[in-house]
Amino acid sequence: MAKLHEVKGRTLISRAELKTRSVGLLYRVLVVLLLVGTLTAVIPFLWLFVGGLKTPEEVTSVSMTLLPKGSPLSWGWGNYFKAFSMFNILLYFKNTLILIVGVWFFQITTSSLAGYALAKLEVPFSRLFLILFLATLMVPFETIMIPLYLTVKDPPLIKGLLRLMFNPETLENVEILSDFMTKGLLDSYWGIILPASVSAFNIFLFRGFFQSIPSDLIEAARIDGCSELGIFARIVIPLSAPIFAVVTIFSGLATWNSFIWPYLVLDEQAKFPIMVRLYFLFENPETTYNILLATLFLCSIPPIVLFFVFQKQIIRGITLTGLKG
């Protein structure tokens, strides 16, 4: 894979050619076109931000203007504060954060260990497992959405096991158990975290990366008496920081942006992650448009900040994996 930041000696157009009149003109036209292109990418962001500053009348009026009326000082900066406090946005940010940490923890532990086992340990049937893991990549999430929903609602086996372990009275009276018996994992974060932890893609990424670690290194540690988990924690993880970073960033972004599954699983509004809350805000006819736009903007800040901080890793991650944000 080519390095992205490498500056090449030449591209399609050579340096000498740029000085000729026709190619120079072509180049200038290209620059202008691309600059105009970036405007189309950026303008909707401005539209969103400015929309959040308008009054409800301004934002829905037929004779709309681009900017709110009056001087910049009199614009509706208060809308942003209103959006912040009115919907208790921090609660939903917090909910999302819990999910991000939960999904991240389960994803990273299970996928990295599985990737390691498939790459370096001689597990029986490892090829079969690899194929079975990869096969799930071909099944789009939406295809298993319905059976997965039923699984989460009514977890097979576990219910039967609980029935065997406890007598009916305990099952009814202990709250956790009775909740589980009636709703399964519905309306609980586990119903989101556990299915999300299943990621063949991450296993595949980890496996690929771990394969590039020299086996001699691992062998040497084993001879020195290091335990298998010790090898993993002290040798493999430090050597694989880049891949852990990429998986962490993408997992966090994906959880922040996830909508349909949490929307199906959760019922109670106080538990919603931010995107689900946003959808209900949007559906609610009482929401005024300016506050909606302001809230949209606030909800986009965390991923955008994350992007600017980890820009390099994200762009490398995309070119490495072909994965989109």
Partner 1 sequence: MPALLLFIYFSWIPILRGLWISFQEYSIIGASRFVGLANYEKLLKHPLFWKSWGNTVLYVLFGLAVGYFIPILLAIGVNEMRRLRTYFRISYYLPAILPLVVTAILWKSIYNVDSGLLNYILAKLGLPPGQWLQSLLFGGPILCLIVMATWKGAGATMLIYLAALQGIPETLYEAAEIDGASVWQRVRNITLPQLMPVMVIVLILQVIGTFQIFIEPFIMTNKGGPNNATLTVLLQIYEYAFTYFWLGEAAAMSMMLFIVLLSLTLVYMWITRRFEAEG
Binders of partner 1 among residues 275 to 304 (CB under 8 A) are 275, 278-279, 282, 289, 292-293, 296, 299-300, 303-304
- Binds partner 1 (CB under 8 A): choice among 43, 174, 220, 237: 43
Which residue do the tokens 């190619």 mark?
A: 23
Of the candidate spans 10-18, 160-168, 174-182, 212-220, the one that interacts with partner 1 by CB under 8 A turns out to be 10-18
Q: How far apart are CA 67 and CA 50, in angstroms?
A: 7
Scanning residues 93 to 122, which ones bind partner 1 (CB under 8 A)? 106, 109-111, 113-114, 117
Binding mask 11-40 for partner 1 (x = CB under 8 A): xxxx--xx----x--xx--xx-xx--xx-x
CA 118, 317, 255: angle at the middle one, nearest 5?
Answer: 85
Q: How far is the CB of 104 from partner 1 (least distance, A)?
A: 15
Q: How far apart are CA 318 and CA 250, in angstroms?
A: 10
Q: How many CB atoms lie within 10 A of CB 61?
A: 11
Which residue do the tokens 């079975």 mark?
A: 132
Of the candidate spans 7-15, 83-91, 216-224, 243-251, the one that interacts with partner 1 by CB under 8 A turns out to be 7-15
Residue type, 211: Q
- Binds partner 1 (CB under 8 A): choice among 21, 71, 72, 156: 156
> Interface with partner 1 includes 181 (CB under 8 A)?
no
- Binds partner 1 (CB under 8 A): choice among 86, 91, 93, 129: 129
Q: How far is the CB of 149 from partner 1 (least distance, A)?
A: 8
Phi then psi for residue 152, to 5 deg, are -70, -35
Burial zone of 183 (CB within 10 Å; 0-12 exposed, 13-18 middle, 19+ buried): middle
CA 1, 33, 306: angle at the middle one, nearest 5?
Answer: 50
Interhelix angle 289-309/241-257, rounded to 10 degrees, is: 180
Residue 90 or 146 with smaller CB distance to partner 1: 146
Q: How far is the CB of 186 from partner 1 (least distance, A)?
A: 12
Scanning residues 50 to 79, which ones bind partner 1 (CB under 8 A)? 51, 59-62, 64, 66
